[in-house]
């Protein structure tokens, strides 16, 4: 006798009617696939399309993951896209980190709890405007001529180890196993880099072996024929990316050339854009965003908005763009002019996008988000504690000290970031003034006989400086790594100095002192030092100040205006680089989880200039688009 089954009818987050049987035996198989016959995706066997937004877990404190994901769901999104940053999880060859703000598994679980599916982009290269495109710096130390992003076995050995470690953790979260991950990207916009299909096929095979049919492999490339052709791999669903200034129909026609059947997909639709130091803050008009989004959704396309929430490049994680004779480091903020601000606040763009999505997908029954209150904690007086060049500074903060006849790169010194001090004796000169030349990667402060005379800079292609003292005997070059290139052909972006000459005669025999400056807690036991305000002619200085918060801490912004160049720490957390002299970013975002009720500590590592006031203030509003 046939049993009578009662079924509950639900409207899912994905816009389709789902029959949920009471008998578990009737539950259909979970999975995600392409229905080529009907030009659509199938989620658990039913027609589906996604409207997604990018949110990189590594650009926000863990405590804010859920609230940001919920705001995305409230906007009508049914999926979230995130990169996986290899360098975050394997900072050194024999070191792994999957905890705290690197807890990818927890991020994926929270996404599922917030009713969002996941588009996972594990690289191994991700670009993302991150240092070295998310690749770990130590790859450059293993073999000098290692060919990154190719089928070079010396490179693929490490890629295989990384992907094995990653997929062993996220395999239970694939859609076929009941998890949220429906798609996994193979590499990242590879057609913009090369046309090595042997490499792509190898990556495809590695990933397919690990996920089988439990998620869909896909590729993403810019909307040019050469990019899609070189990024295309048989057995990997090819998608395109483009922004508001592009003809939607023609872009999707290009995709159709390589995927004649299946759903249309824009994997990176840009509601904002990135910003470099020394340029205006980038913005994309809301009217253009909603017009193009509406056009794509009306065509039945699936869309991922890059970025929906941008966040922050905390610490030394910001990368750089450029190539031959061009170097443009990115600012610390990754606000991106996204629908959600750097602090996760909804913008008018957010609500306009939500209005468009509501025409095509059901809206969840969740309260609309508001702009959160911000802290106005006032000015903080900073006292100088130690000069990095003095014995106490070297003893406390020098990571490595080495002497060689030729200057070594940061990578050869085992230093992933931030500063290396190169010291040498100057040779006798018969020319007045003498000309010092050094190819510097990326910015070098030049000290002669312990006195700052100027700077060399890759950004402005300045590699020569005059030394006017004919009797000068000691040379110091303090070199700052401002971020490795994250896009294009220049990924072998070694940091340091080379080709150092005085009047074309090579300078030999170098002492190198590396400063990582990750942990600055030991300065609390040091007394203040005497320091004149203005340009720091005798070397970088660490300054410290305290401030008190009454009640529950709120997000706030550190105003660095009038200072020179450096990094800031609050309660030991590195907020990132500041450089108000060139802008456009003046404030650094300070999330409330970095703060505490009661006394808090602000520490600066200032390289170039201390104003007379010696103060910074914590204010409730950001300044990201300052016009110099």
Catalytic residue ranges: 189, 268
Cβ count near 273 (within 10 Å)? 15
Cβ pair 488, 322 in contact under 8 A: yes
CA 544 to chain centre: 28
Give the DSSP per-residue string, 570-626: ETTEEEEEE-TTT-S--EEEE-GGG--SEEEEEEEEESSEE-TT-EEEEESS-----
Q: Which helix (H) or strand (E) holds 9?
A: strand 7-11
Query: In whole angstroms, what is the distance from residue 418 CA to residue 574 CA?
Result: 12
Q: Which helix (H) or strand (E) holds 391?
A: helix 391-397
Which residues pair with residue 485 across a beta bridge? 320
Q: Label residue 370 left, alpha or beta by phi (over 0 means left) and psi (-120 to 50 means alpha).
A: beta
3-state helix, strand, coil in the chain (%, to 5): 25, 30, 45
Residues 6+ apart with CB under 8 A from 248: 242, 292, 295, 296, 299
- Compute φ and ψ for 110, nearest 5 degrees: -65, -40
- SS3 labels along 283-351: CCCHHHHHHHHHHHHHCCCEEEECCCECCECCCCCECEEEECCEEEEECCECCCCCCECCCCCECHHHH
Cβ pair 312, 321 in contact under 8 A: no
Of 80, 82, 173, nearest to 123 by C-alpha is 82
Query: In whole angstroms, what is the distance from residue 148 CA to residue 123 CA?
Result: 12
- Compute φ and ψ for 48, nearest 5 degrees: -155, 145
Q: What sections of 171-266 are H helices per DSSP?
A: 197-211, 225-231, 248-258
Of 515, 520, 621, nearest to 561 by C-alpha is 621
Could you give the 3-state DSSP secondary structure of residue 108? helix
Q: Label residue 72 left, alpha or beta by phi (over 0 means left) and psi (-120 to 50 means alpha).
A: alpha
Query: In whole angstroms, what is the distance from residue 488 CA to residue 313 CA?
Result: 20
The sign of the torsion formed by the CA atoms of 25, 31, 36, 39 equals positive
Query: In whole angstroms, what is the distance from residue 582 CA to residue 626 CA?
Result: 9
Which residues pair with residue 18 across a beta bridge? 10
């Amino acid at each position: 006798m046939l049993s009578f089954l009662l079924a509950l009818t639900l409207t899912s987050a994905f816009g389709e009617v789902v029959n949920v049987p009471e008998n578990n035996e009737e539950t259909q198989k979970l999975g995600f696939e392409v229905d080529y016959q009907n030009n659509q995706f199938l989620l658990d066997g039913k027609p589906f399309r996604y409207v997604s937004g990018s949110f990189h877990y590594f650009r926000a404190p863990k405590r804010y993951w859920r609230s940001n994901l919920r705001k995305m769901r409230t906007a009508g999104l049914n999926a979230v896209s995130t990169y996986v940053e290899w360098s975050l999880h394997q900072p050194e060859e024999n070191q792994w980190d999957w905890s705290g703000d690197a807890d990818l598994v927890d991020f994926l679980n929270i996404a599922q709890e917030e009713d969002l599916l996941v588009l996972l982009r594990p690289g191994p290269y991700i670009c993302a405007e991150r240092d070295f495109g998310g690749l770990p710096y130590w790859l450059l130390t293993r073999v000098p001529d290692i060919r990154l992003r190719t089928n070079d076995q010396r490179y693929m050995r490490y890629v295989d180890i990384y992907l094995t470690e990653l997929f062993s953790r996220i395999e239970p979260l694939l859609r076929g196993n009941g998890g949220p991950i429906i798609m996994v990207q193979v590499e990242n916009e590879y057609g913009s880099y090369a046309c090595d299909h042997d490499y792509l096929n190898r990556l495809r095979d590695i990933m397919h072996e690990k996920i089988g049919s439990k998620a869909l492999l896909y590729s993403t490339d810019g909307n040019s024929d050469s990019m899609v052709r070189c990024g295309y791999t048989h057995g990997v669903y090819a998608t395109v990316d483009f922004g508001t200034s592009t003809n939607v129909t023609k872009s999707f026609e290009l995709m159709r050339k390589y995927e004649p059947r299946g759903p249309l997909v824009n994997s990176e639709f840009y509601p904002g854009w990135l910003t470099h130091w020394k340029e205006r803050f980038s913005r994309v008009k809301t009217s253009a965003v909603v017009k193009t989004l509406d056009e794509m959704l009306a065509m039945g396309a699936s869309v991922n908005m890059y970025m929906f929430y941008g966040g922050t490049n905390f610490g030394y994680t910001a990368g750089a763009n450029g190539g031959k004779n061009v170097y443009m480091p990115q600012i610390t903020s990754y606000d991106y002019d996204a629908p959600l601000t750097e602090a996760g606040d909804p913008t008018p763009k957010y609500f306009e996008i939500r209005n468009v999505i509501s025409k095509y997908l059901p809206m969840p029954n969740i309260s609309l988000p508001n702009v959160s209150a911000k802290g106005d904690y006032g000015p903080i007086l900073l006292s100088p504690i130690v000069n990095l060049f003095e014995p106490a500074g070297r003893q406390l903060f020098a990571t490595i000290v080495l002497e060689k006849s030729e200057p070594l790169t940061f990578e050869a010194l085992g230093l992933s970031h931030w500063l290396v001090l190169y010291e040498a004796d100057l040779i006798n000169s018969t020319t007045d003034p003498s000309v010092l030349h050094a190819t510097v990667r990326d910015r070098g402060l030049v000290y002669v006989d312990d006195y700052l005379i100027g700077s060399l800079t890759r950004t402005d292609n300045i590699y020569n400086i005059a030394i006017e003292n004919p009797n000068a005997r000691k040379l110091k070059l303090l070199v700052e790594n401002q971020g490795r290139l994250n896009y294009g052909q220049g990924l072998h972006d070694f940091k340091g100095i080379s080709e150092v000459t005085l009047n074309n005669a090579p300078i030999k025999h170098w002492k190198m002192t590396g400063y990582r400056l990750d942990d600055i807690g030991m300065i609390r036991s040091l007394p203040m030092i005497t320091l004149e305000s203005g340009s720091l002619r005798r070397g970088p200085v660490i300054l410290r100040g305290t401030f008190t918060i009454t009640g529950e801490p709120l997000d706030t912004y550190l105003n660095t205006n009038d200072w020179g160049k450096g990094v800031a720490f609050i309660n030991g957390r590195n907020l990132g680089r500041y450089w108000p002299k060139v802008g456009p970013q003046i404030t650094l975002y300070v999330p409330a989880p970095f703060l505490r009720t009661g006394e808090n500590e602000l520490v600066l590592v200032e390289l170039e200039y201390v104003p007379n006031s010696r103060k910074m203030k914590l204010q409730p509003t950001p300044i990201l688009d300052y016009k110099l």
